[in-house]
Amino acid sequence: MAETYVLYNPIAGGNRGFENAKKLEAVFPQKNLLYRDMTGISDYGDFFGSIRADDVVILCGGDGTLNRFINATDSMEIENPILYYATGNGNDFLRDLGQTADGPIQINDYIKNLPSVTVNGKKHRFLNGVGYGIDGYCCEVGDKKRTQSDKPVNYASIAIQGLLYGYKPSAAVVTVDGQTRTYQKVWIAPTMYGRYYGGGMMPAPEQRRGNAERTVSVAVIHDSGKLRTLCVFPSIFQGKHVTHTAIVDVLSGHRITVEFDRPSPLQIDGETVLNVKKYDVESAPVPAYAFG
């Protein structure tokens, strides 16, 4: 008989990961749920090798939890049904799918053929997007706040404070499929696979994960002073910032490189990387069957 394993991230949802994962018992009252702390799994090859192919695995956490899982299992062919139960704070992956956190959803198809980002010589897969600029700064500040309090981090508030006085924009060179553009005063330059990051912001509102061409999109807010950027920035939650074409570019392609003129924090699905001058994104290849 198939078992159901619940892999939870204890620090998700303000260090309430296990408590939130236990809510699955109300969703599956007839099942014997087997709980495992994900941070204690050092080798997923060993884990999946120790269970049956028809055993169900439920991941409990947020976007960062999913990011760690997809990278830890990147070279593996997983036969087991993989479900996701959102217990994080941002839950942008779930938002992009138009789903709610009421119960787990199967995600096997969503965690295959993902784009990659190379930062400081290391390659990472990502599920939502790579933030660079004030969005990376927000994650850096948010990480510090989490060490000081269990209260949810308000990234919108951090962004506004950063726009006013905490973050200094950079010059940037952006290359998309061999075509290069140079910008001054760049506030954000994320590359997106889905539409959402940062708890509901839509830097590239027309981007669709798993689109037929397998493209990703980089959004650049540039050549704008503090006050104008502050006026435009809130509209990113509705994706309306793209109407300000003088200061916002959204470019799509398969290979994207962004290089700042000074080191800045970067985030990958909410996971912070400090002191980054450059990142390179490569989308997953278009499947052969797409060409008929």
Give the burial class of 200: count Cβ atoms within 10 A of its Cβ; 0-12 exposed, 13-18 middle, 19 or more buried: middle
Task: Determine the average pLDDT of the residues in 138-142.
Answer: 84
CB 129 within 8 A of CB 231: no
In the chain, where are the structural domains located? 4-111, 116-291
| Sequence-separated (6 or more) residues with CB below 8 Å from residue 179 | none
Task: Determine the average pLDDT of the residues in 189-199.
Answer: 94
In CATH, what class is 4-111? alpha beta
pTM over 0.95: no
- pLDDT confidence bin for 249, thresholds 50/70/90: very high
- pLDDT confidence bin for 164, thresholds 50/70/90: confident
67-107 pLDDT, tens per residue?
A: 999 999 998 999 999 999 998 877 899 999 998 778 899 99
116-291: CATH topology: Tumour Suppressor Smad4 (2.60.200)
Residue 62 φ/ψ, nearest 5 degrees? -115, -160
Give the burial class of 159: count Cβ atoms within 10 A of its Cβ; 0-12 exposed, 13-18 middle, 19 or more buried: buried
